[in-house]
Structure 1
Amino acid sequence: MQSQQRDPSGCVSLERAVSRDRSYGDLQGGGSLLLGARSACSGNTAEGRWTQVITVVTGGAGFIGRSLVKRLLALAGKMDEIVLLDNLGRHGVSAGLTRLLSDPRVRLVEADLSEPDGFESVPGPVDRVYHLAARMGVAPVTNAPADALRTNTLSTLRVVEWFAESGSPEARLLFASSSEVYGSAHEAGIKIPVPTGEAVPGVIADLENPRFSYALSKMWGEVYARFADVGAGRRVVSVRYHNVYGPEMGYDHVIPQVVERIRTRQDPFEIIGEEETRAFCWVDDAAEATRLVLEAGNLEPGAVVHVGRNRETSIGSLYELMFDYTAWRPERTLSRLSPPGSVARRCPDVSALTRLTGYEADTPLTEGLRHTIDWYLKNPPATPINGDRRFI
């Protein structure tokens, strides 16, 4: 696709944008709103022309991606464009994705980002890029660690290089990392504070454990995002997600797995990793934090920011909350240890997030669980969930 012409501010002129795609409709009143309140590419330019913001979300068909796009649409103007880059291998075309694609400002490009031609159908120059796409989930990564490493590292390499070539003069890129980059510190004998801040060391405790291939790919991505030369004026930031949950997240996580075992009335009921703790963050809160981090005015190039909720909950307590809400309880429970590599405690220090954005994830776990459980009970899996997928 032909690149759009930019005015001196680095934005696409309205005349050019309209000629490229008439599906956005004619102008009625005000121009493009900012995808985040501080973008330079919104509203009137010095020449009096309305402008377009182009945002790319890799993994946009996925769990966090869909929630992020929903939020971006709520703030976008009529002429803005949001391009979802996804291979559809994990979630397919879900009901949530179908709803997003009904908006003419959203376009899906099915692509393998680990291949050089993955960006051929993306318009440019782009203003904002959220790189969420990754091979993830404990079971898929554990079963194919080499594939996870290859896919995640190559896709990140190509996204950053493409961003350096196709980003507008003040474009920004966000790399989605994970708390897994420091998750095995305890196993390696390294004491880290809980809640945990961004300055802790990245740790891979056991290179023979296939689970850690995901953590290694995210650690590599953070380092590459920090040091890659993307051009003066552009910025790259990383966020580390901490146990984000909600409807349509798949079955490679503890909450949907427990819901399914409640639905099928497993008895005796296995309680896996009962003493471990997590800090669960509602998906819409994580999406809003993601958007705000990328738009932060005081953002340092290469910064890493923890995204999550700093309320620690034991896995045993999580099970109890789910039993209470579903009004069902097994007659017998069996305590079972988590698989090797599972973290004993995890809770983020989110003071950097609050300092940068003024935002704090505040959806109570009980409220988020209610929405999540209701969705999974109404949408049971088409095939049984294997026992070896029960990971935290």
Structure 2
Amino acid sequence: MGARILVTGAAGVIGFELARQIAERGDELVAIDCGKKGGLEDLDALAAKHTKRVTVLHDDLALGRLDLDGRFDAIFHLAAIVGVKYVTDHPYETMVVNMRSTLNVLDFALRSNSGPFFFASSSENYASGVDAGFVKVPTPEDVILSIDRIALPRWSYAASKLAGESAVFGAASEHGLHPIVVRFHNVYGPRMGQTHVIPEMLQRVRERVDPFPIYGADQTRSFLYVEDAGRALLTVLDAALAGASGLFNIGSPHERRIDELARTIFDVTGFHPKLDLHPAPPGSVARRAPDLAKLSALGFAPRFGLEDGLRTCWKR
């Protein structure tokens, strides 16, 4: 048997794909999720398929101390409240849940003397600096981070991720934690629900909406299919087990306009409506794309083009 690995938020779109890949490569997995957004049946099915290697725990990590037996070779902390609409409607809950869960899992990592601690952060941490003009795009990991208008509810998510990053590096400095922070850039996949740009567009296609509303047509994003995101995490894991630490962007090297995304979806689905253009939602960053030099240096390259990933989402 290989490494012993803990994954929190394991029923989420990235967490489940990571859990699946860990199980498939023969490592021992403990997968934790509270199940508030569903997906536990997929985790339970994964455990049933790999009965000797996968353990699933239904636990809310924001409620208190995490107690598990033994040491883990690596911990992936992906559990968090996400989604712009939910975060904007529940900014205090976002801060409380994301910060408490991170501190509770960090506390366990230190008590158990576990191996590399992976904290799932976000490209949202770059957004304020990009809009202010002092952060370049594509964005490397070592830029200055900031929060624009701290009183705006939407920024509670980025604030919670900044606080989490600080806690991880603080634990490294004070207690010797092995820190890995990954900043995801627009990961998408079939299990991500309906409150993100790609599933929203696919749903409008299914409903044959014409004219087709597009918000922020000239804004750009870099979309990474979830299977590639899982592979990227395991690439960084292998590097971490060999001694690597620090910050890593995870995303696609291809920056796409939102109207280009829409037209690609139309080509994949065979539905070609007229575009109904609208301004971008308030607070939405104009450009988002990662500098992937550090990840590429580890030998990682995406296998899924945008069309391939969209086609898989459409078929499911």
TM-score (structure 1 length as normaliser): 0.76
- Counterpart Cα distance in 2 of 1:298 and 1:162: 21
- Please list, as runs of the form range in 1=range in 2, the aligned pairs for 1:143-182 lying within 5 A after superposition: 143-168=89-114, 171-182=115-126
Q: Which has the higher helix share?
A: 2
C-alpha contact (below 8 Å) 2:121/2:184 kept by paired residues: yes
- Counterpart Cα distance in 2 of 1:167 and 1:59: 21
Q: Which residue of 2 aligns with 1:114?
A: 62
SS at match of 1:196: coil
C-alpha contact (below 8 Å) 1:173/1:235 kept by paired residues: yes
C-alpha contact (below 8 Å) 1:309/1:362 kept by paired residues: no
Q: Provide Cα deviations, 1:52-102, integer angstroms capped at 9, x if missing partner.
A: x421100011110111111111222xxx531111111123434x4343122
C-alpha contact (below 8 Å) 2:213/2:276 kept by paired residues: yes
Alpha-carbon distance, 1:214 to partner: 0.3
Question: Residue 268 of structure 1 is aligned with which of 197, 211, 215?
Answer: 211
Q: Provide Cα deviations, 1:177-218, integer angstroms capped at 9, x if missing partner.
A: 00001112233x233221110011112111122111000000
C-alpha contact (below 8 Å) 2:187/2:224 kept by paired residues: yes
- Counterpart Cα distance in 2 of 1:276 and 1:265: 24
C-alpha contact (below 8 Å) 1:209/1:341 kept by paired residues: no
Letter in 2 for 1:166: S
Corresponding position: 1:249 with 2:192: yes
Corresponding position: 1:358 with 2:299: yes
Question: Residue 281 of structure 2 is aligned with which of 339, 349, 362?
Answer: 339
- Counterpart Cα distance in 1 of 2:238 and 2:105: 19
Unaligned runs of 5+ in 2: none
- Please list, as runs of the form range in 1=range in 2, the aligned pairs for 1:105-144 lying within 5 A after superposition: 105-117=53-65, 119-120=66-67, 122-144=68-90
Alpha-carbon RMSD:
1.6
SS at match of 1:238: strand
Q: Which residue of 1 aligns with 2:263?
A: 320
Q: Which residue of 2 aligns with 1:44?
A: none
Corresponding position: 1:349 with 2:285: no
Question: Residue 66 of structure 1 is aligned with which of 9, 16, 21?
Answer: 16
Question: How many residues of Structure 1 are paired with residues of Structure 2 in the alignment?
Answer: 311
Q: Provide Cα deviations, 1:289-316, integer angstroms capped at 9, x if missing partner.
A: 112213312413xx11101111111100
C-alpha contact (below 8 Å) 1:307/1:348 kept by paired residues: yes
SS at match of 1:186: helix
- Counterpart Cα distance in 1 of 2:290 and 2:24: 28
SS at match of 1:211: helix
Q: Which residue of 2 aligns with 1:291?
A: 234
Alpha-carbon distance, 1:333 to partner: 2.6
Letter in 2 for 1:240: R
Corresponding position: 1:91 with 2:32: no
Higher Cα Rg, which structure? 1
- Counterpart Cα distance in 1 of 2:88 and 2:175: 37
Q: Provide Cα deviations, 1:368-387, integer angstroms capped at 9, x if missing partner.
A: 11001111xxxxxxxxxxxx
Shift in CA distance, 264/98, structure 1 to aligned 2, threshold 3 Å: farther
C-alpha contact (below 8 Å) 2:130/2:137 kept by paired residues: no
Corresponding position: 1:183 with 2:127: yes
- Counterpart Cα distance in 1 of 2:71 and 2:128: 39
SS at match of 2:130: coil
Structure with larger RCO (C-alpha < 8 A, sep 6+): 2
Alpha-carbon distance, 1:162 to partner: 0.8
C-alpha contact (below 8 Å) 1:173/1:294 kept by paired residues: no
Letter in 2 for 1:285: D
Q: Which residue of 2 aligns with 1:19?
A: none
Alpha-carbon distance, 1:143 to partner: 0.8
- Counterpart Cα distance in 1 of 2:312 and 2:285: 26
C-alpha contact (below 8 Å) 1:250/1:256 kept by paired residues: yes
Alpha-carbon distance, 1:123 to partner: 2.5
- Counterpart Cα distance in 2 of 1:360 and 1:147: 36
Q: Which residue of 1 aligns with 2:152?
A: 209
- Counterpart Cα distance in 1 of 2:227 and 2:141: 22
Alpha-carbon distance, 1:231 to partner: 4.4
Letter in 1 for 2:223: F
- Counterpart Cα distance in 1 of 2:102 and 2:180: 13
- Counterpart Cα distance in 1 of 2:130 and 2:285: 8
Letter in 1 for 2:128: S
C-alpha contact (below 8 Å) 2:33/2:40 kept by paired residues: no
Letter in 1 for 2:5: T
Q: Provide Cα deviations, 1:291-347, integer angstroms capped at 9, x if missing partner.
A: 2213312413xx1110111111110011001111111122x4311112111111111
SS at match of 1:84: strand
SS at match of 2:280: coil
